[in-house]
């Protein structure tokens, strides 16, 4: 009964979400949003065309060069991999629904059973996943239907896409109900960030364990498994849902509808039972007081932080106040802290693990600017990551609290100045440290090493300032969530400008080396000239972006 009512309520919730989506896009009456919707639709169409083309190429190639591939195992493997996506997505959705979304209480106050309310959340999640999977695979399925002259192929796959997520969504929803008992109210976003990190590490670990390139050479692959893909023999087991879905999908493609129907029915029956049982169990868990049972812990400023009384050498009290406030906000919010630390960790993973082999190769270049320039690569990767993540979000970091500064007797230019200090300072320090460490190891000659580090500091200050300006132009004050506060167009422009500034700088430095070789000018002179032009150009672009950013903030109305 609860499951049935949940299905009905879920469809109602889905309709409301669809209405909200339409209201925020094509019915928004805002030119920017409508343009964004049209651009998004164009990108989807482009991606669909590309997918259709690739599928067509694949079909043609398989006709010309017959490859013996175990379709059943391959499809089972695909469904198993999809399970990983489902687990993470459902976990995020369920925790969001329980800890962050404000509408749960509204639904629970309605004259509906608790079971149906919790089941409706599962229904919404299943429909969402179903629509997404159709969005991703639609063109390929339509093309397969045309090639195989069988219009039922998309329909059969659509049923699989609808049924397969159910067991994952139900199990994860139940787990989430248990998890919220140990997650304090108000820490939901941070917990989600931790899950994000866990997923990133999980993918790396899975790659390390399953990628054939990293496997034991004596490992025997599943017969018929594609040689370039990871292999999990258990994926096609008849005892696992991935095996059922894989068998059904393989039978659909080969035109064996009886077998396809059998496995589909098994999946349908299992999903229905799990959904019904899950609805009842989730209701029981809720009624037993298992939801939001952890009271919010009182968090307070550490004694060390209290000693920071708003003083930063060389900065005016207003600038220092903003710099210290930003630093506190960044370091106290786990999601913000992760944005700051992750690039450093990944840099270590990318370069640190391969360090001895790389170092030998670079040292073989001998003294001089080429070795010094190569030493800047890790610093540049760090600069890219930090300037984008910290610089672009610097202004949006204020969120709805922007009124505090806006109501104060200070100019917007001073605000941007403070934001430049609060981001460029830590970025320049970290980039300088990375550059210094690389140059010490490479030893390209002290003079070249010093110029390389100076270049890294100057460019990081300029590039981060550039990002602060772009972030001001595309500032979003509606979000406090680190993932959402940056505007996608801002990110796109920021990345583009970073590439242009870096590319031009590298080109100038290479030209300076070539110029010295051709004209017999001292190499150090041409190198310094190239550095000056490069930094000067970056500073000019940064200043321009700050002017644009200031213009945007001056026109800002805090409504």
Partner 1 sequence: MLSTRLLTKRYGSLTAVDDLDLEVGAGELFGFLGPNGAGKTTTIKMLVGLLRPSSGSARVAGIDITTEPEKAKALIGYVPDAATLYDKLSAQEFLEFSGDLYHVERRLRDRRIAALLKLFDLQERGDDFLSGYSRGMRQKVSLAAALLHDPQVLFLDEPTVGLDPQSARQMKDILQDFCREGKTVFFSTHILEIAERMCTRLAIINHGRLVAMGSLQDLRHMVGQDGQSLEQIFLELTGSREDDVSAVLRGLEG
Cβ partners under 8 Å of residue 425, min gap 6: 323
d(CA 169, CA 90): 6
Q: Is-contact 81 274, C-beta < 8 A?
A: no
In whole angstroms, how close is the CB of 300 to partner 1 at the nearest point?
4
Dihedrals φ, ψ of 230, to 5°? -65, 155
Dihedral of CA atoms 499, 500, 504, 507 in degrees, nearest 10, equals 50
In whole angstroms, how close is the CB of 327 to partner 1 at the nearest point?
11
Q: Is-contact 157 137, C-beta < 8 A?
A: yes
Q: Which residues of 111-140 are buried (b: 16+ CB within 10 A; e: fewer)?
A: ebbbbbbbbbbbbbbbbbbbeebeeebbbb
Exposed / middle / buried, residue 165 (Cβ in 10 Å: 0-12, 13-18, 19+): buried
Smaller CB separation from partner 1, 310 or 536: 310
Smaller CB separation from partner 1, 75 or 324: 324
In whole angstroms, how close is the CB of 47 to partner 1 at the nearest point?
36
d(CA 511, CA 23): 54
d(CA 140, CA 47): 11
d(CA 392, CA 396): 8
Smaller CB separation from partner 1, 49 or 331: 331
In whole angstroms, how close is the CB of 395 to partner 1 at the nearest point?
15
In whole angstroms, how close is the CB of 552 to partner 1 at the nearest point?
14
In whole angstroms, how close is the CB of 445 to partner 1 at the nearest point?
46
For residue 556, give both structure tokens.
Answer: 């800002």
In whole angstroms, how close is the CB of 301 to partner 1 at the nearest point?
4
Q: Is-contact 506 379, C-beta < 8 A?
A: no
Apex CA 282: angle with CA 163 and CA 176, to 5°? 80
Residue with token string 């889905």:
14
How many other CB atoms are found less than 10 A from the CB of residue 425?
A: 17
- N residues, the chain: 559
Smaller CB separation from partner 1, 315 or 372: 315
In whole angstroms, how close is the CB of 479 to partner 1 at the nearest point?
12
* Ordered DSSP codes for 40-86: HHHHHHHHHHHHHHHHHHHHHHHHHS-----HHHHHHHHHHHHHHHH
Smaller CB separation from partner 1, 330 or 487: 330
In whole angstroms, how close is the CB of 322 to partner 1 at the nearest point?
8
Report the interface residues with partner 1, using CB under 8 A: 186, 296, 298-301, 305-306, 309-310, 317-318, 320-322, 324-325, 328-329, 332-333, 399-401, 403-411, 480, 557-559
For residue 335, give both structure tokens.
Answer: 């999601």
Smaller CB separation from partner 1, 394 or 538: 394
Smaller CB separation from partner 1, 335 or 486: 335
In whole angstroms, how close is the CB of 187 to partner 1 at the nearest point?
10
In whole angstroms, how close is the CB of 303 to partner 1 at the nearest point?
9
Cβ partners under 8 Å of residue 85, min gap 6: none
d(CA 559, CA 194): 34
Apex CA 372: angle with CA 368 and CA 375, to 5°? 150
Smaller CB separation from partner 1, 306 or 520: 306
d(CA 145, CA 252): 10
Smaller CB separation from partner 1, 27 or 354: 27
Smaller CB separation from partner 1, 66 or 111: 111
Picking from 94, 81, 86, 92, the residue whose alpha carbon sits closest to that of residue 203 is: 81
Smaller CB separation from partner 1, 88 or 327: 327
Smaller CB separation from partner 1, 60 or 401: 401
Smaller CB separation from partner 1, 274 or 315: 315
Estimate the crossing angle of helix 114-147 against helix 152-179, to 10 degrees. Answer: 150
In whole angstroms, how close is the CB of 413 to partner 1 at the nearest point?
11
In whole angstroms, how close is the CB of 95 to partner 1 at the nearest point?
18
Cβ partners under 8 Å of residue 557, min gap 6: none
Smaller CB separation from partner 1, 185 or 209: 185
* Ordered DSSP codes for 172-201: HHHHHHHHTTTSPTT-HHHHHHHHHHHHHH
In whole angstroms, how close is the CB of 414 to partner 1 at the nearest point?
9
Q: How far is CA 227 from the centre of its chain?
A: 29
């Amino acid at each position: 009964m609860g499951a049935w009512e949940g299905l009905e309520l879920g469809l109602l919730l889905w309709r409301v979400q669809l209405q909200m989506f339409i209201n925020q896009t094509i019915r928004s009456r805002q030119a920017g949003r409508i343009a964004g919707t049209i651009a998004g639709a164009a990108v989807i169409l482009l991606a669909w065309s590309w997918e259709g083309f690739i599928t067509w190429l694949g079909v043609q190639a398989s006709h010309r060069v017959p490859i013996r591939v175990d379709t059943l195992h391959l499809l089972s493997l695909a469904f198993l991999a999809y399970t990983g996506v489902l687990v993470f997505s459902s976990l995020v959705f369920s925790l969001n629904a329980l800890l962050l979304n404000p509408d749960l209480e509204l639904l629970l106050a309605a004259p509906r059973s608790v079971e149906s309310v919790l089941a409706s959340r599962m229904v919404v999640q299943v429909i969402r996943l179903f629509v997404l999977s159709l969005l991703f695979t639609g063109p390929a399925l339509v093309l397969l239907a045309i090639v195989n002259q069988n219009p039922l192929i998309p329909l059969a796959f659509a049923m699989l896409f609808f049924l397969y997520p159910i067991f994952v969504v139900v199990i994860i929803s139940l787990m989430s109900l248990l998890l919220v008992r140990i997650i304090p109210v108000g820490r939901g976003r941070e917990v989600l960030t931790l899950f994000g990190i866990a997923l990133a590490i999980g993918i790396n670990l899975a790659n390390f364990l399953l990628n054939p390139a990293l496997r034991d050479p004596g490992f025997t692959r599943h017969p018929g498994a594609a040689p370039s893909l990871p292999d999990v023999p258990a994926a096609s087991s008849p005892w696992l849902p991935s095996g059922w879905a894989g068998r059904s999908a393989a039978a659909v493609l080969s035109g064996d509808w009886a077998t396809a129907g059998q496995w589909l029915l098994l999946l349908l029956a299992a999903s229905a039972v799990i959904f019904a049982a899950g609805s009842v169990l989730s209701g029981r868990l809720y009624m037993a007081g298992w939801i939001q049972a952890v009271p919010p812990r009182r968090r307070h400023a550490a004694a060390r932080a209290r000693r920071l009384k708003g003083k930063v050498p060389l900065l005016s009290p207003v600038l220092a106040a903003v710099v210290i406030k930003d630093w506190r906000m960044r370091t106290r919010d786990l999601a913000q802290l992760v944005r700051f630390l992750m690039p450093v960790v990944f840099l270590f993973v990318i370069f640190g693990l391969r360090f001895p082999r790389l170092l030998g190769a670079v040292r073989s270049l001998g003294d001089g600017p080429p070795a010094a320039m190569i030493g800047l690569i890790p610093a540049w990767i760090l600069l890219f990551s930090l300037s984008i993540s910290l610089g672009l979000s610097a202004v949006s970091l204020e969120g709805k609290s922007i009124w505090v500064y806006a109501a104060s007797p200070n100019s917007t230019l001073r605000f941007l100045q403070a934001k430049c200090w609060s981001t460029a300072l830590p970025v320049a320090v970290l980039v300088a440290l990375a550059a210094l460490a690389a140059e010490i190891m490479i030893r390209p000659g002290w003079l070249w090493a010093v110029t390389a580090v100076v270049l890294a500091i100057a460019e990081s200050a300029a590039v981060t300032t550039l990002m602060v300006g772009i972030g001001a132009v595309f500032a979003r004050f509606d979000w406090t969530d680190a993932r959402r506060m940056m505007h996608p167009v801002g990110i796109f422009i920021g990345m583009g400008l970073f590439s242009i500034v870096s590319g031009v700088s590298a080109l100038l430095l290479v030209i300076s080396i070539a110029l010295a070789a051709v004209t017999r000018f001292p190499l150090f002179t041409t190198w310094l000239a190239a550095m000056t032009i490069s930094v000067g150009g970056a500073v000019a672009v940064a200043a321009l972006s700050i002017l644009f950013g200031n213009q945007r903030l001056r026109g800002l109305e805090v409504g």
